[in-house]
Chains A and B, each alone.
Chain A
Amino acid sequence: RKEVEQDPGPFNVPEGATVAFNCTYSNSASQSFFWYRQDCRKEPKLLMSVYSSGNEDGRFTAQLNRASQYISLLIRDSKLSDSATYLCVVRHYNQGGKLIFGQGTELSVKP
């Protein structure tokens, strides 16, 4: 079993839809949590960090449930430009900062 697991996808949604990505992690030593975005044949880019209290950045809302070891990302009013692969990422405390990635969920927003 992979340490970070995501919905397999792909998700195909119309513009304006709300879409939710789910992620679970198995190692309770995980300390920091992130969502990265990766466009086709490009490098991953940090979308947002995820905090225990939940956090929002415009149309994007991230939540963390440490008890359930569950992370989510909600995109409201999706745009064509949101089409990408979304990667759930964790980092362990005091392990040099290496990032552990989920396999990613592909999102395709259609007109």
Chain B
Amino acid sequence: GAGVSQSPSNKVTEKGKDVELRCDPISGHTALYWYRQRLGQGLEFLIYFQGNSAPDKSGLPSDRFSAERTGESVSTLTIQRTQQEDSAVYLCASSLGPDQPQHFGDGTRLSIL
């Protein structure tokens, strides 16, 4: 497909486990963003990639959160030692450049038991 693809769609895991969330941006989009949306809230910015580097990580809530991007394509968001407050929908977006419209994936719904 031509859109932003995220996997898995849903993830249920036990508190304390590590999780990896994947984002496949639209081909050719150099900018990639991760956001988090808690129930009933707006989206919160987590991290921005331009190419494979992350000039803005200011939204990552703790050192349990990390992300990487390789090949100017796929990005992985990793949450270590998950906590219940990490339960949210994690959304990825990509754009042709930092000031271009962002296209969102369907998100990964993460539930921590």
Q: Which residues of A contact B (CB under 8 A)?
A: 4, 32, 42-46, 87, 91, 95-104
A96-B55, A97-B97, A98-B48 given as contacts; is B106 within 8 A of A103 (CB)? no
Residues 16 to 60 of chain B near chain A (Cβ within 8 Å): 31, 33, 35, 40-45, 48, 50, 55-56, 59
- For residue B87, CB closer than 8 A to chain A, the reply is no
Query: How does the 8 Å CB contact mask read for B44-85 relative to A, with 1 for contact and 0 for none?
Result: 110010100001100100000000000000000000000000
A43-B107, A96-B31, A96-B48 given as contacts; is B101 within 8 A of A101 (CB)? no
Q: State how many angstroms separate the Cβ of B87 from the closest Cβ of chain A.
A: 15
Contact between A97 and B42, CB atoms less than 8 A apart: no
CB nearest to A43 among chain B residues: B104
CB neighbours (8 Å) of A99 from chain B are 33, 35, 43, 45, 93, 102
Count of interface residues, chain B, beta-carbon cutoff 8 Å: 27
Q: State how many angstroms separate the Cβ of A30 from the closest Cβ of chain B.
A: 13
A95-B56, A97-B31 given as contacts; is B101 within 8 A of A46 (CB)? yes
Interchain Cβ contacts within 8 Å, total number: 55
Q: Once the chains are docked, how many angstroms separate the CA of A38 from the CA of B55? A: 28
CB nearest to A87 among chain B residues: B42
Q: State how many angstroms separate the Cβ of A14 from the closest Cβ of chain B.
A: 25
Contact between B104 and A44, CB atoms less than 8 A apart: yes
Q: Which residues of B contact A (CB under 8 A)?
A: 31, 33, 35, 40-45, 48, 50, 55-56, 59, 91, 93, 95, 97-102, 104-107
CB nearest to B38 among chain A residues: A103
Contact between A96 and B98, CB atoms less than 8 A apart: yes
Contact between B48 and A97, CB atoms less than 8 A apart: yes
CB nearest to A104 among chain B residues: B42
Q: Once the chains are docked, how many angstroms separate the CA of A4 from the CA of B107? A: 22
A42-B106, A43-B104 given as contacts; is B43 within 8 A of A97 (CB)? no
A96-B48, A96-B50, A97-B99 given as contacts; is B43 within 8 A of A44 (CB)? yes
Contact between A4 and B104, CB atoms less than 8 A apart: no
CB neighbours (8 Å) of A103 from chain B are 40-42
